[in-house]
């Protein structure tokens, strides 16, 4: 029997900026939100019109994410790891989030997150008209629980294969997965899902994020950010906590460190020095920057720059 190349892949990442590029067709930006050596794992099982992903990350992360156009995405937390946040709404493992229309979402995950998401073409699910507003949510239910358990077993099975998949299995498996997903999709459509507008806290967070990204001031303070957003520092803090799980001060610091890390990884291409990059992101005392950076990422900035060159 002829074998085809495996539809399964597993990639381990040591950096959030690398993992954000792991999903073909998605528009994403990740930012690490707490100190520690980053480790992320992305498993993908591509089965014709349906693609299954399992994404695990060991540290808290903020994600700006948008699925490909023409896709319906079901997302659910696995393993009882606690709630994840989607547009400032906390979602547990018993809730499915449904994403459509390639609209940007703001997601945040705590330590040791474990997310299963299934993407399928709208046409494959029988949607010929625009679906409900994105995102929407629905209880996971027994049918999805069965589907997710089966898909997890498929991921585990393909992870152990050293060669490609047999031609007969490769021919029938996409149809089997699509058939079961269509059943779940039909149940959701019949019982309805709850549309989730972007909560005011998430809108305020995005406004503040846009202000920070457009600002040329590397010493932007929480008070500055709140004033430009037209709210008090207390209101801004509550919005950040509900949306990404950290306060604006911690987020501003994480953002600057993330920007420095991205520039260090690109130093081989740009020719920038470590001191140039530190100054660009408002770290004017190089020794303090090196110590802060090493405490946050588990390696000195010079090693990141060397690693980028090796990569």
- Taking only the tens place, the pLDDT of each residue in 56-112 is 999 999 999 999 988 999 999 997 666 799 999 999 888 999 998 788 999 999 999
pTM reported for the whole predicted model? 0.89
User: Is 164 within 8 Å of 3 (Cβ atoms)?
Assistant: yes
Domain 200-310 has CATH 3.40.50.720: no
Cα dist. 165→8, 174, 176, 226 in Å?
10, 12, 15, 55
Q: How confident is the model at residue 140, as a pLDDT?
A: 87
Domain with CATH 1.10.10.60 in the chain: 200-310
Question: What class has domain 3-195?
Answer: mainly beta
User: Alpha helices, DSSP H only, in 13-134?
Assistant: 16-19
For the chain, residues classed under CATH 2.60.120.10 are 3-195
Q: Which tens digit of pLDDT belongs to each residue from 113-124?
A: 999 999 999 889
| Residue 299, number of CB atoms within 10 A of its CB | 15
């Amino acid at each position: 029997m002829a074998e085809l190349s495996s539809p399964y892949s597993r990639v381990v990442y040591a950096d959030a900026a690398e993992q954000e590029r792991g999903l073909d067709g998605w528009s994403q930006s990740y930012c690490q939100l707490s100190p520690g050596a980053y480790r992320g794992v992305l498993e993908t099982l591509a089965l014709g019109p349906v693609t299954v992903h399992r994404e695990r990350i060991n540290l808290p992360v903020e994600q700006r994410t948008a699925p490909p156009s023409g896709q319906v995405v079901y997302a659910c937390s696995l393993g009882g790891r606690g709630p994840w946040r989607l547009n400032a709404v906390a979602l547990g493992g018993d809730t499915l989030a449904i994403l459509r229309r390639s609209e940007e979402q703001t997601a945040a995950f705590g330590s040791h997150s474990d997310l299963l998401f299934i993407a399928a073409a709208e046409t494959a699910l029988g949607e010929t008209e625009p679906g409900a507003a994105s995102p929407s949510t629905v209880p996971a239910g027994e049918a999805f629980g069965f589907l997710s358990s089966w898909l997890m077993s498929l991921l585990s099975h393909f992870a152990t294969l050293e060669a490609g998949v047999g031609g007969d299995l490769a021919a029938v498996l996409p149809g089997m997965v699509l058939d079961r997903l269509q059943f779940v999709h039909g149940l959701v459509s019949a019982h309805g899902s709850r549309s989730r507008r972007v909560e005011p806290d998430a809108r305020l967070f995005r406004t503040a994020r846009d202000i920070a990204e457009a600002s040329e001031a590397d010493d932007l303070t929480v008070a500055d950010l709140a004033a430009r957003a037209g709210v008090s520092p207390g209101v801004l803090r509550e919005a950040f906590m509900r949306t990404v799980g950290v306060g604006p001060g911690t987020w501003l610091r994480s953002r600057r460190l993330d920007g420095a890390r991205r520039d260090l990884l690109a130093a081989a291409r740009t020719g920038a020095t470590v001191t140039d990059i530190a100054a660009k992101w408002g770290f004017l005392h190089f020794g303090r920057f090196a110590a802060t950076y090493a405490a946050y990422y588990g390696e000195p900035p010079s090693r990141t720059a060397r690693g980028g060159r090796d990569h």
